[in-house]
Structure 1
Amino acid sequence: MQGVIAAFFISMVPILELRAGIPAGVAAGLNPWQAMLVAVAGNILPVPFALLFLRKILRTLRRTSSRLNRIIARYEQKTLTKAEKVRKYEALGLLLFVAVPLPGTGAWTGAVIASILKIRLKTAVPMILLGLLIAGVIVTSITYGASMVL
């Protein structure tokens, strides 16, 4: 049970996501494929909420202070650079972006990009989920391979 909780909640955290959730679940005693499924579930859970509310939250935060406005503007600009790659292929681009398990990619950034590009919820969520499944298989394969050596 401890492995399920670890994999699920770590995968919900931006930046860590399933790249950290799967190894944490395996380290806590889960089968690598169980860890992957739990991590994908934890990683996808906040995505619809991020898609629905993120732009409104950022807009409100930008009005709070000029310092916060500058930080958010830098974050949006950095995300827009990544979004340009996704814009060309839209839904498929979003899927591929999320599927690559590298820092700066993943469900949270994918949700931000989908929000910026105004990709509809009914399109973005399935593409992000498929991307997470692909990333999960990659991370699980790497983790399982590493655990076989240990």
Structure 2
Amino acid sequence: MIDFLIQFFGGISPELASALLASLPVTELRAALPIALLVFELDPFTAYFWTVFGNLIPILLVYLILPPLMMFALRYTPRLNRRLETFFDVLKTKHGDRYSKWGAFFLFLFVAMPLPGTGVWTGTVLAVVFRIKPTLAISYIVAGLLVAGLLVLAITQGVFRGGTFL
């Protein structure tokens, strides 16, 4: 896998490669930051900056694409609309209680946990599904991203670098 990443991103700078990895829903910051540190050998500050920057891109993409896609599906493609509704119903069922308890602050808690499936992509989709005001949602998502980045950085530096945090 590491050889594949080095070969795939061989023609671009390690900083841009780190940002691109962080913008993908499969890797996000949780995988991109350790890769930036351990594979691309970026210093901790540079790796943190570029992976956070790259992980901000999905917020814009989800807010620009998901609401119009939902309207399009509702009007023109019943099959896609059913699939989207099923997906959103699963999200509401899975996270509805926590959203009811914590409100929009739930987005911060959700994104700040550096676990698979709790990143910016899912957090932004949850914000759209629960119809949280975008300015409020984005502020909580970004704050959660910054905390998650620091946690991943600390874990990566502590585990793989013998505690040399910065």
1:129 aligns with 2:142: yes
8 Å Cα contact 1:11/1:40 also seen in 2: yes
Structure 1 portions without partners, runs of 5+: none
Q: CA separation in 1, counterparts of 2:114 and 2:128?
A: 20
Higher mean C-alpha deviation, range 48-57 or range 130-139: 48-57
TM-score by length of 1: 0.86
2:92 to 75, 80, 88: 80
Identity, % of aligned positions:
36
Q: Which entry has the higher C-alpha Rg, 1 or 2?
A: 2
TM-score by length of 2: 0.79
Higher mean C-alpha deviation, range 93-102 or range 78-87: 78-87
Task: Tell me what 1:60 maps to.
Answer: 72
Q: Would the alpha carbon gap of residues 28 and 122 (structure 1) be closer, same or farther in structure 2, given more than 3 Å must change?
A: same
Q: Which amino acid aligns with 2:86?
A: R
Structure 2 portions without partners, runs of 5+: 1-11
Q: Which structure has the highest helix share of the two?
A: 1
Q: Which amino acid aligns with 2:33?
A: I
For residues 93-140 of structure 1, give each alpha carbon's deviation from its aligned partner in whole angstroms, at most 9, with x where no partner exists: 111111111122111111111111111111111111000011101111
Q: Which amino acid aligns with 1:4?
A: E
Task: Tell me what 1:23 maps to.
Answer: 34
1:51 aligns with 2:63: yes
Q: Which amino acid aligns with 1:142?
A: I
2:111 to 91, 98, 106: 98
Cα distance, 1:92 vs structure 2:
1.3
Higher mean C-alpha deviation, range 126-135 or range 67-76: 67-76
1:146 aligns with 2:138: no
Q: Kindly report the root-mean-square deviation, in angstroms, between the aligned alpha carbons of the 2 structures.
A: 2.0
The number of equivalent residue pairs is: 149
Q: CA separation in 2, counterparts of 1:68 and 1:97?
A: 27
Cα distance, 1:76 vs structure 2:
1.3
